[in-house]
């Protein structure tokens, strides 16, 4: 901590000055403030009005605001929890307003006892809570040329992390009796798009949840209120919102969202489907694109790392674009399939720098560079970009997207 | 999980019925829903409008809504995180609206280099995040006769839990150089009440934070925006909000909030000051006061346990008011000075029951019964009630406060 001295510190006072400043010179309130419960469900300070979800800088890539996305302001966040009001969104036909008393979940297909569940039925099951990330597999469009003015909200904002609570899907499935020949599960949303995905039955019996709460309170409408499928570590789109139906069968259904979209383009031009797991990835959130270092000296390089396969083992950071690396410290607790906050000290000398980070997960998988990723996938790809992110720091302190 | 069969489950369908219900009989949306970012900073569903902070049933014990409290709706929450909009409040002169650009923190007294810090200065330090609880030491007024209609929001709602981020106070104190003769630290709030508490210097150099964020985003105004003292495990009142001044000295300052209030009444009528640590405590949040069991059969008894001294080691639950006990399961991760969610299965037979819970922390301390607590403290006490909470379940399923 001695390295910080004289840099992060404030204004030093002589003893006399300090005495004078004791009660008079510093700002203080002289009139009572607002009442309690103003309002009963509290809101952020008016001075934080700029910290909101946004569409991508330069406009949304989507045709309407019904089939669209909004991005979490990662550059303004601390720790790993995303407050519910800032959780990213991706909808295919807008956000339905569903009365939980009317909502039903049908489980049918290759099962012994097809059943319909109300939300109260699902709440009656034993519950599980876990903190885990959700990431849209369309997050981070660095396949092509980087857009210099992109912030980390633009490049990585389809990423959030909450404490989710729900019933373990396997407990509910014991009630219906899934037949041994069922190898796939169709999950259908209750939105007007009836968004559907085919999920391997192993995941349904592993850590899948029928989630009804996030960060303590009930799901937000845009997160699937009153019920969503939660598949920790799987691409966001498979975590079907406003969950209406689960059907068991022998083969995947080849729905729109797993044929025309959410597939990979391989270097030989072939297309690979059913790429569920989000591989290890990381990003520096501070300093990051659009910010400006106000003066030379000490900074904390801080960011997020995550893996759909388990815990983060290690994060390395670089100030020279990956030529040399230093191991960052990881904030405890380190949880599986959860964002992990990393931090590394840095003294900025006033020279240009390129900040980047590289995550390693507990399976030993190492986050690739963009070049390494492009050996595995064609640049015409759209989904599952998990290459390292570079931020260029100019000698005037301005930070921009280096792709 | 087999115990659940036929109880928590929904409506079973014959195969023909299920086929018919497939796409037609169940509710679904037919028109597009709301746009993304409606609004940009998201809000709960309109169907959750009743889940808000409240004053105590029957009215607040405080004279005005400036010097008052509001309670977290624990009966409606899941997991351990409290969403920021539902964090309990306790103010002594309302909630000031502070421009973070104007706010300053003075550190002076028995220090080598008195200094004034801006919020940007504090943000420049290395950061630490941790999930921990805050509890007002006036939480749970079971010293006298229980009020039957109290909910768990009434009895235990001065309790919340967030992921807090800030600068370790010890790092900041290295800048000012606290003198060896300084044994106490005065923390003063920037509100009109200038709320002040004397804190032992050991705590300042232990795990104290200068916190600026909660659950990812900046502090809420009612939680001390832009800067609060966070003293994990210490009574809520010492976690001074809108923090304006830290002064080091040789003796405690004997402020209003540590003489006329926040003290203990001992059985011999003497008064004990400086009872900082919140001892181990637990409460069943479901089923709890004001709820009604809708039918016989399986229920999950679920609640929260916490200790200001470290981790929760064990929680026992009883359905007969403490005559017999069963060990509950604890939701991982179990973090020190943090809420821990416990769960235990229960089959309600339709007979009257008295639900209660008992926490043991890692120091071996066991939460006392009310009778045990009253051997240590006089019933004229007000603060630090941590006795077991009893909920009476009547044979019609109605749950009421048993004190």
Per-residue pLDDT tens listing for chain B (403 residues): 223 333 344 666 654 444 445 566 688 898 999 999 999 999 999 999 999 999 988 877 777 888 899 999 999 999 999 999 999 999 999 999 999 999 999 999 999 999 999 999 999 999 999 999 999 999 999 998 999 999 999 999 999 999 999 999 999 999 999 999 999 999 999 999 999 999 999 999 999 999 999 999 999 999 999 999 999 999 999 999 999 999 999 999 999 989 888 888 888 888 889 999 999 999 999 999 999 998 999 999 999 999 999 999 999 999 999 999 999 999 999 999 999 999 999 999 999 999 999 999 999 999 999 999 999 998 888 999 999 999 999 999 999 999 9
Contact B299/A13, CB-based, under 8 Å? no
pLDDT at B5: 36
Residue A173 banded pLDDT, cuts 50, 70, 90: very high
CA distance B132 to B307: 10
Chain B residue with minimal CA distance to A299?
A: B124
Encode pLDDT of A77-117 as tens digits: 999 999 999 999 999 999 999 999 999 999 999 999 999 99
Q: Which residues of A touch B98 (CB under 8 A)?
A: 27, 29
Nearest C-alpha neighbor of B26 from the set A82, A203, A115: A115
From chain A, pick out residues whose CB is under 8 angstroms from the CB of B66: 32-33, 35
pLDDT of residue A1: 27
Contact B172, B187 (CB under 8 A): no
pTM attached to this predicted model: 0.95
ipTM: 0.95
Contact call for A33 and B96, based on CB within 8 A: yes
Q: Find tokens 């020190």 and name the residue.
A: B336
For residue B4, with 0-12 CB atoms within 10 Å meaning exposed, 13-18 middle and 19 or more buried, which class applies?
A: buried
Do residue B302 and residue A216 have CB atoms under 8 angstroms apart?
no
On whether any CB of chain A is under 8 Å from the CB of B271, the answer is no
Tell me how far apart the alpha carbons of residues B351 and B363 are, in angstroms, rounded to a whole number. 37
Flag whether pLDDT at A4 surpasses 60.
no
C-alpha neighbours within 13 Å on the C-beta side of residue A368: 14
Chain A positions in Cβ-Cβ contact with residue B213 (cut-off 8 Å): 77-79
User: Does the CB of B63 have a partner CB in chain A at under 8 Å?
Assistant: no
Model pLDDT, residue A22: 57
Residue B210: other Cβ atoms inside 10 A: 23
Residue A67 confidence (pLDDT)? 86
Answer for the pair B389, B373: CB distance below 8 angstroms, yes or no.
Answer: no
**Contact at CB, A55 and B37, closer than 8 angstroms:** yes
In angstroms and rounded to an integer, the radius of gyration of the C-alpha atoms of chain A is 23
Do residues B227 and B337 make contact, with C-beta atoms less than 8 angstroms apart? no
Q: What is the pLDDT of residue B13?
A: 61
Instruction: Give pLDDT, residue A262.
Output: 86
**What pLDDT does B40 receive?**
96
Chain B residue with CA closest to A30: the answer is: B192
Interface touch A81/B216, C-beta < 8 Å: yes
Chain A residues with CB-CB distance to B136 below 8 A: none
**Which of A144, A139, A75, A135 has the alpha carbon at shortest distance from A284?**
A75
Whether A68 and A62 have beta carbons less than 8 Å apart is answered as yes
Q: What is the pLDDT of residue B17?
A: 47
List the one residue out of B36, B27, B342, B213 whose CA is nearest residue A64.
Answer: B36
Q: Identify which of B140, B155, B256 has the alpha carbon closest to the alpha carbon of residue B197.
A: B256
Does the beta carbon of B397 lie under 8 angstroms from any beta carbon of chain A? no
What residue has token string 């002064």? Answer: B247
Under 8 Å between Cβ of B74 and A107: no
Task: Give Cα A213 distance to the centre of its chain.
Answer: 17
User: Comparing A256 with B170, which gets the higher pLDDT?
Assistant: B170
Interface contact A203, partner B, CB < 8 A? no
Query: How far, in Å, CA of A133 to CA of A130, rounded?
Result: 10
Average the pLDDT over A276-289 and give the result.
Answer: 98
Say yes or no for a CB contact (<8 Å) between A5 and B175.
yes
d(CA A140, CA A144): 11
Q: Does A15 touch chain B (CB under 8 A)?
A: yes
**Residue ranges of E strands in A89-234:** 89-90, 104-109, 115-118, 128-135, 159-168, 184-189, 196-200, 209-214, 217-218, 228-230
Percent of chain A clearing pLDDT 70 (strictly above)? 94
Q: Report the pLDDT value the prediction gives residue A60, as an integer from 0 to 100.
A: 77
Nearest chain B residue to A89 by CA: give it. Answer: B36
Q: What pLDDT sits at residue B397?
A: 98
The phi and psi torsions of A119 (rounded to 5 degrees) equal: -65, -40
β-bridge mates for residue B188, sequence order: B196, B245
- For A9, the closest of B82, B96, B121 (CB atoms) is B121
Q: State whether A1 and B174 contact (CB < 8 Å).
A: yes
Q: How far is CA B220 from CA B40, B164, B223, in A?
A: 17, 12, 5
Lowest model confidence (mean pLDDT) among A64-73, A203-212, B168-177, B179-188 = A64-73
The count of CB pairs under 8 A between chains A and B is: 425
For residue A230, give how far its alpha carbon lies from the nearest alpha carbon of chain B (Å): 15
> Smallest Cα–Cα separation from B38: which of A89, A49, A60?
A89
Q: Are A1 and B126 an interchain contact pair (Cβ–Cβ within 8 Å)?
A: yes
- Residue B83 CA to residue B220 CA, distance in Å, equals 11
A297 class by beta-carbon count within 10 Å (0-12 exposed, 13-18 middle, 19+ buried)? middle
Task: For residue A13, give the nearest of B7, B96, B114 by CB distance.
Answer: B114
Please report which helix (H) or strand (E) contains residue B12, including its range.
Answer: strand B11-12
CB contact at 8 A, A233 and A200: no
* H or E element in which residue A355 lies: strand A353-361
Residue B337 touches partner A, C-beta closer than 8 Å: no
Q: CB-CB: which of A26, A94, A105 is closest to B35?
A: A94
- The CA-CA-CA angle for residues A140, A141, A145, to 5°, reads 130
Residues of A in contact with B220 (CB under 8 A): 42-45
pLDDT, residue B3, reads 31
Partner-chain contact A13 B108, CB within 8 Å = yes
């Amino acid at each position: 901590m001695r390295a910080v001295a004289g840099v992060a510190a404030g204004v030093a006072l002589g003893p006399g000055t300090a005495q004078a400043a004791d009660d008079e010179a510093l700002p203080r309130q002289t009139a009572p403030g607002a009442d309690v419960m103003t309002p009963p469900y509290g809101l952020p300070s008016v001075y934080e009005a700029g910290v909101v979800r946004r569409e991508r800088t330069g406009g949304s890539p989507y045709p309407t605001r019904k089939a669209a996305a909004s991005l979490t302001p990662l550059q303004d966040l601390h720790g790993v929890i995303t407050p519910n009001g800032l959780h990213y969104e991706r909808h295919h036909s807008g956000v339905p307003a569903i009365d939980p008393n009317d909502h039903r979940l049908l489980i049918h297909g290759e099962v012994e006892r097809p059943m319909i569940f109300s939300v109260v039925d699902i709440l009656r099951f034993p519950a599980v809570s876990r903190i885990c990330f959700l990431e849209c597999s369309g997050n981070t469009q660095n396949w092509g040329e980087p857009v210099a003015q992109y912030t980390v909200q633009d490049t990585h904002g389809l990423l959030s992390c909450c404490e989710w609570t729900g019933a373990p899907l396997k407990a509910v499935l014991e009630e219906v009796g899934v037949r041994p020949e069922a190898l796939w599960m169709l999950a259908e949303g209750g939105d007007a798009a009836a968004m559907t995905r085919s999920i391997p039955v192993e995941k349904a019996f592993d850590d899948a949840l029928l989630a009804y709460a996030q960060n303590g309170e009930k799901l937000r409408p845009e997160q699937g209120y009153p019920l969503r499928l939660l598949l920790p570590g799987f691409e966001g789109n498979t975590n079907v919102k406003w969950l209406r139906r689960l059907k068991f069968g022998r083969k995947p259904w080849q729905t729109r969202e797993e044929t025309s979209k959410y597939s990979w383009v391989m270097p030989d031009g072939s297309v690979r489907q059913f790429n569920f797991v989000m591989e290890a990835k990381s990003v520096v959130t501070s300093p990051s694109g659009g910010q400006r270092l106000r003066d030379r000296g000490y900074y904390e390089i801080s960011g997020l790392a995550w893996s759909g396969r388990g815990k983060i083992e290690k994060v390395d950071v670089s100030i020279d674009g990956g030529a040399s690396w230093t191991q960052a410290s990881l904030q405890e607790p380190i949880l599986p399939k959860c964002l992990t906050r990393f931090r590394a000290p840095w003294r900025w000398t006033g020279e240009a720098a390129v900040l980047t980070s590289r995550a390693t997960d507990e399976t030993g998988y190492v986050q690739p560079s963009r070049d390494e990723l492009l050996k595995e996938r064609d640049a015409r790809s759209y989904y599952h970009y998990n290459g390292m992110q570079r931020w260029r720091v100019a000698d005037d302190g301005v930070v921009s997207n280096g792709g």
